[in-house]
Amino acid sequence: MSLNAVVRKPAQPVAPTREPQRRLQPVTRPAVRRKPKLAYALVALAGALAIGAAQVGLSLAITQDSFTLAGLSSQQRELDLRTHALQEELTGLSSPQVLASSAAGLGMVVAGSPSYLRLSDGAVFGTGAGADGTSTVNPVGAGAVSNSLIVEPPPAETTTDEGTTGQSNQELPPAITDGLPSPSTH
């Protein structure tokens, strides 16, 4: 078959497709806005107030805890200082010098030579005599070394003729007559 035998149809023009036209209309009145529901507004407001109140409450609780902690820290510091002072006083009172002077005050004396007892036959070795009334050690004598931890007892109170009590031998600071005392320098 030949090409000439094919029947050709004439091409028809294609019609342009039309887009739908927009329908624009002028607005005659504004659209009606819906009222917000009052219940939703109240719930949102109550939630915001509850969150604010919780924040204020937590802030006050934290602040109160910090004041309590500061007070307890101050109290602990005072107790530590008091413990340290009492420990120093105990160290001074348990020193050998204080114990020896307390024993001498009670009339105790240092014995001479020791005596020994043999258990097998009950024999006594040594002098076997008790100590005499004089001690060989004088804890407060001329050869004693001063101890800075020993606290002197407070002076006895004296009664004046008006009936009031006062401290005897009260040490007062020196009187200042011509300004504050200062060291002499070159």
> What's the CA gap between 82 and 95, in Å, rounded?
20
> Which pLDDT tens digit goes with each residue over 131-169?
666 666 666 666 666 666 666 655 556 666 665 555 555
The yes-or-no verdict on residue 107 having pLDDT over 90 is: no
How do 157-159 and 165-167 pair as beta strands? antiparallel
CB 111 within 8 A of CB 126: no
CB 126 within 8 A of CB 115: yes
> What's the CA gap between 114 and 129, in Å, rounded?
9
Give the pLDDT confidence score for residue 50 in this predicted structure: 97
Give the pLDDT confidence score for residue 83 in this predicted structure: 95
Give the pLDDT confidence score for residue 92 in this predicted structure: 82
Model's pTM, two decimal places? 0.39
Name the residue type at position 132. Answer: D
The yes-or-no verdict on residue 64 having pLDDT over 80 is: yes
